[in-house]
């Protein structure tokens, strides 16, 4: 009888070892679908093999099958909650735009492992998306404390400071981004922020630097044109906005900006042409012929009094 008992005890041990062997084989593969096939075999042998569940969840995440990945991470959390599983489940939820669910998981992850610094960055993004800007600043600050050269954390924290109207700290962070990575995008980001608070000259300087770093930074030409226009530099505005429309013929905001700049330059023919172009792009599939077609455009949202006045003047041409 003792021998029989020993034989029965060895069976699950051998099965567990076989499952683990399949998991190791799966990890040597690059194809997520092939990984899942082996991990499925491992889970047929041992349906509570946590490593197999974890790596299958990762493989499903890589295939963008987020709902299925969530099920695997949830099973792990049910059996043995850990920070990595909460973190990865949070990433799945974030990709599915379940920001409240992602926030819950990220907070669980950092509570279980306060040293899981990557989770703080994603926690900050979730808080930012949910408009908890103060909480976002706190999360990004955790990352910066451990990684003082982390460009993305400075950039995201700067945007959170902007929402909190703490412009001094925002521009300090934008400056840090430029020191870490003095590229076109860094200057563009700071220029956009400066434009948001009506620092037109400073914004113009940053957009010029962004373009000098990367002449293919198309949005920088539009916002450079906006900066020139709001400074009353209509000729320069026309040049920049013309480049923007050359690079993107469907840029209705740039066409409308050109219409205004031409109007102020008393070139009413070109003003009329550009105004019609902007309307035709926005109104391609309907018969609406009023200002409502410009709803949510840059000029209507950010410069509403100017837009309202200029729409009337351009409509009268």
Answer yes or no: is 72 within a domain: no
Mean pLDDT (whole number) for 196-222: 96
Residue 219, domain CATH: 1.25.40.10
As a whole number of angstroms, the distance between CA 239 and CA 170 comes to 31
- Rounded to the nearest 10°, the torsion over CA 262, 268, 272, 275 is 30
Gyration radius (Cα) of the chain, Å: 28
Q: What is the pLDDT of residue 285?
A: 56
Residue 203, pLDDT score: 96
Decide if 313 is inside a domain: yes
Cα-based distances in Å from 124 to 47, 114, 174, 288, 312? 35, 14, 17, 41, 43
DSSP-derived secondary structure letter, 147: -
Nearest of 214, 147, 141, 201 to residue 172 by alpha carbon: 141
Total domains in the fold of the chain: 1
Cα 159 to Cα 174: distance, rounded to the nearest angstrom: 9
Answer whether residue 299 shows pLDDT above 60.
Answer: yes
pLDDT of 5: 43
DSSP string, 74-101: HHHHHHS--HHHHHHHHHHHHHTT-HHH
Question: How far is 130 from 125, CA to CA, in rounded Å?
Answer: 9
Q: What is the mean pLDDT of residues 139-150?
A: 96
Question: CA geometry: angle at 311 spanning 287 and 317, to 5°?
Answer: 85
Q: How far apart are CA 231 and CA 233, in angstroms?
A: 5
In a domain, 295, yes or no: yes
Q: What is the pLDDT of residue 15?
A: 63
Give one DSSP letter per residue of 22-42, joined into a string.
Answer: HHHHHHT-S-HHHHHHHHHHH
The structure tokens 């410009």 sit at 294
Closest CA to 68 of 76, 77, 57: 57
Per residue in 263-295, pLDDT (tens digit) is: 999 999 999 999 999 999 998 655 667 888 999
Mean pLDDT of 128-134: 98
Residue 254 lies in a domain: yes
243 belongs to a structural domain: yes
pLDDT digits (tens, 9 = 90+) for 75-91: 999 999 999 999 999 99
For residue 125 the two structure tokens come to 């993004």
pLDDT class for 1, splitting at 50, 70, 90? very low
In a domain, 73, yes or no: no
- Give me the domain span that covers residue 240: 214-317
Interatomic CA distance for residues 49 and 54, integer angstroms: 9
Reduced 3-state DSSP string for 193-243: HHHHCCCHHHHHHHHHHHHHHCCCCHHHHHHHHHHHHHCCCHHHHHHHHHH
Write down the pLDDT at residue 283: 84
- Residue 285 counted as domain residue: yes
> Two tokens at 300?
């209507």
170 in a structural domain? no
36: buried, middle or exposed (CB in 10 Å: 19+, 13-18, 0-12)? buried
Q: Give the number of C-alpha atoms closer than 13 A to the C-alpha of residue 233, restricted to the C-beta side.
A: 14
């Amino acid at each position: 009888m003792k021998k029989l008992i020993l034989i029965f005890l060895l069976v699950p041990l051998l099965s567990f070892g076989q499952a683990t062997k399949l998991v190791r084989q799966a990890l040597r593969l690059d194809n997520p679908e092939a990984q899942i096939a082996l991990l499925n075999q491992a889970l047929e042998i041992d349906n509570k093999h946590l490593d197999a569940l974890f790596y299958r969840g990762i493989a499903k995440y890589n295939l963008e099958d987020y709902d299925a990945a969530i099920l695997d991470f949830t099973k792990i959390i049910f059996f043995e909650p850990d920070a990595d599983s909460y973190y990865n489940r949070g990433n799945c939820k974030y990709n599915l735009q379940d920001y409240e669910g992602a926030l819950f998981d990220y907070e669980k992850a950092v509570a279980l492992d306060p040293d899981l610094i990557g989770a703080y960055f994603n926690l900050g993004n979730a808080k930012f998306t949910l408009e908890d800007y103060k909480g976002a600043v706190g999360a990004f600050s955790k990352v910066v404390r451990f990684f003082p050269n982390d460009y993305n954390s400075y950039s995201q924290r700067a945007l959170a400071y902007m929402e909190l109207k703490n412009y001094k700290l925002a521009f300090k962070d934008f400056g840090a981004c430029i020191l870490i990575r003095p590229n076109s995008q860094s200057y563009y980001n700071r220029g956009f922020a400066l434009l948001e608070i009506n620092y037109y000259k400073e914004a113009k300087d940053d957009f010029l630097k962004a373009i000098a770093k990367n002449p293919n930074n198309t949005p920088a030409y539009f916002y450079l044109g906006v900066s020139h226009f709001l400074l009353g530099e209509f000729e320069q505005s026309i040049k920049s906005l013309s480049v923007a429309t050359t690079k993107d013929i469907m840029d209705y905001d740039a066409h409308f900006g050109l219409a205004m700049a031409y109007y102020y330059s008393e070139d009413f023919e070109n003003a009329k042409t550009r105004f019609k172009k902007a309307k035709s792009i926005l109104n391609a599939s309907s018969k609406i012929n009023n200002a409502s077609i410009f709803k949510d455009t840059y000029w209507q949202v950010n410069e509403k009094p100017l837009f309202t006045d200029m729409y009337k003047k351009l409509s009268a041409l």
